[in-house]
Amino acid sequence: MAMLCSYQKMKFKVNNSSDFARQASLELQRGSIQTPAFMPVGTNGTVKGMSVDDLKETGSEIILGNTYHLMLRPGDENIKTLGGLHNFINWDRPILTDSGGFQVWSLGDLVKISEEGVKFSSPYDGKKIFMTPEDSIKIQENLGSDIVMMFDECTDYPTTYENAKSSMELSMRWAARCKKAHKTSSALFGIVQGGIYKDLRQESLNQLLEIGTDGVALGGLSVGESKQEKLEILDFMSDKLPTEMPRYLMGVGKPEDIVEAVRYGIDMFDCVLPTRNARNGQLFTSEGVLNIRNAPYKMSDDPIDANCKCKVCKNYSRAYINHLDRTNEMLGSMLSTYHNIYYYQSLMKDIRNSIKNNLFAKFLKDFYNRRNLDMPEGPT
């Protein structure tokens, strides 16, 4: 692929904006994506219950791969030998890989963190694994990632100012090591830490920009803090994040969380909600969440969402999805996941179109009206 050899850096272009919200194009080594973008999560090298054709049909332009899971099974060196993650899973569009840091952090007491890196045991065979920032970059490069994330420590919540500060500083020292270790033509995103402390967030951002990064992610949010605390950080960051690079809010979220974050200038999102909730019978609709397991749907000939144009809503009734869920049939999860991902991607498309056409204010009004929710205040 000639493009891969000659291509050196990603390109990011803001096409239009509405206050802090913006619609942009992000050109990566394996193609362009339009933002604000939602990235379905492909933990083990598959977005659970979705074929790659299905993913494309829903309008997904980029997916996320989990470094932690893939390094353990089947192993990043094995994936490299098998032609890289894209070839392995038959997905020719961009992939963002996380750094593995968050999943390791989620192991809690089972992980030991030092200046050099993290030590933990494989949950599959108990094997002791030591992982450094350099390892994380190497693993992501073995996978053939298009957007490599810097390895960081997710700051605990709640925690003291001092702990948040030293955790952030460790992450920044690791960020510098990641930058040095990064060799391929993939984009490299840094992660702003600092917990709920604004001056630490500012300091983290300053250091990342000093180190040099192609995009900025906000880490350590949605880990227990209140919605208000999260919004305050988003609000604080909204006029400090550089406008010329993409901004990624990791692990978010519900449709209303995404819409709200777009108002603060966020461009990229990932979350397991649409896939995980689908498998638990929770379906996203234009009017809110519908629990398909509820008894009234057993005989409902209506589609999941009358306003949805996806093939599931065109062809199947709530009664059928309810039946498949009750009988524990794989097709239930397949159809529910397809619908949820389609819903998320349609939402993103509506957001993008509204910003592009200077109609974002109207979009917001409609979005909250349809759900009978008051519109939050937004950026101050």
Q: What amino acid positions are annotated as catalytic residues? A: 98, 270
Residue 368, classified by CB atoms within 10 Å of its CB into exposed (0-12), middle (13-18) or buried (19+), is middle
Residue 219, Cβ neighbours under 10 Å: how many? 30
Query: In angstroms, rounded to a whole number, what is the distance separating the alpha carbons of residues 242 and 75?
Result: 36
Told to check if 329 binds a copy of itself by CB under 8 A, we report yes
Report the residue number, 16 or 300, with the smaller CB distance to a copy of itself: 300
Told to check if 57 binds a copy of itself by CB under 8 A, we report no
What angle, 0 to 180 degrees and rounded to 10, lies between the N-to-C axes of helices 133-143 and 161-181? 50
Report the residue number, 3 or 82, with the smaller CB distance to a copy of itself: 82
Report the residue number, 142 or 207, with the smaller CB distance to a copy of itself: 142
Query: In angstroms, rounded to a whole number, what is the distance separating the alpha carbons of residues 276 and 267?
Result: 23
| # chain residues binding a copy of itself, by CB under 8 A | 36
Residue 348, classified by CB atoms within 10 Å of its CB into exposed (0-12), middle (13-18) or buried (19+), is buried
CB of 57 to a copy of itself, least distance (A): 11
Contact 140, 97 (CB under 8 A): yes
Stretch touching a copy of itself by CB under 8 A, among 41-49, 128-136, 153-161, 195-203: 41-49
Query: In angstroms, rounded to a whole number, what is the distance separating the alpha carbons of residues 132 and 181?
Result: 11
CB of 280 to a copy of itself, least distance (A): 14
Report the residue number, 240 or 326, with the smaller CB distance to a copy of itself: 326
Which amino acid would we find at residue 325? D
CB of 330 to a copy of itself, least distance (A): 5
DSSP bridge partners of 105: none
CB of 166 to a copy of itself, least distance (A): 36
Told to check if 51 binds a copy of itself by CB under 8 A, we report yes
Told to check if 327 binds a copy of itself by CB under 8 A, we report yes
Residue 366, Cβ neighbours under 10 Å: how many? 14
Residue 179, classified by CB atoms within 10 Å of its CB into exposed (0-12), middle (13-18) or buried (19+), is middle
- Identified binder of a copy of itself from the candidate list 16, 17, 32, 46, rule CB under 8 A: 46
Told to check if 358 binds a copy of itself by CB under 8 A, we report no
- Identified binder of a copy of itself from the candidate list 226, 315, 358, 369, rule CB under 8 A: 315
CB of 98 to a copy of itself, least distance (A): 17
Query: In angstroms, rounded to a whole number, what is the distance separating the alpha carbons of residues 130 and 170?
Result: 17
103-139 b/e (C-beta count within 10 Å ≥ 16 → b): bbbeeeeebeeeeebbebeeeeeeeebebbbbbbbbb
Told to check if 379 binds a copy of itself by CB under 8 A, we report no
Report the residue number, 46 or 286, with the smaller CB distance to a copy of itself: 46
Interactions with a copy of itself, residue window 290-309 (CB under 8 A): 298-299, 301
String marking each residue 65-94 x if it binds a copy of itself according to CB under 8 A: ----x---xx---x--xxx----xxx----
Query: In angstroms, rounded to a whole number, what is the distance separating the alpha carbons of residues 105 and 109?
Result: 9
Give me the DSSP letters along 8-48. Answer: -S-EEEEEEEETTEEEEEEEETTEEEEESEEEEEETTSS-T
Told to check if 45 binds a copy of itself by CB under 8 A, we report yes
- Identified binder of a copy of itself from the candidate list 7, 157, 316, 368, rule CB under 8 A: 316
Query: In angstroms, rounded to a whole number, what is the distance separating the alpha carbons of residues 82 and 86?
Result: 10
Stretch touching a copy of itself by CB under 8 A, among 30-38, 93-101, 332-340, 364-372: 332-340
In residues, how long is the chain? 380
String marking each residue 149-168 x if it binds a copy of itself according to CB under 8 A: --------------------
Report the residue number, 36 or 332, with the smaller CB distance to a copy of itself: 332
Query: In angstroms, rounded to a whole number, what is the distance separating the alpha carbons of residues 246 and 239?
Result: 14
Report the residue number, 100 or 195, with the smaller CB distance to a copy of itself: 100
Told to check if 324 binds a copy of itself by CB under 8 A, we report yes
Complete edge-to-edge strand list for the sheet that includes strand 11-18 = 11-18, 21-28, 31-35
CB of 305 to a copy of itself, least distance (A): 17
Which positions lie near a copy of itself, rule CB under 8 A? 44-46, 48-51, 69, 73-74, 78, 81-83, 88-90, 298-299, 301, 315-317, 319-320, 322-324, 326-327, 329-331, 333-335
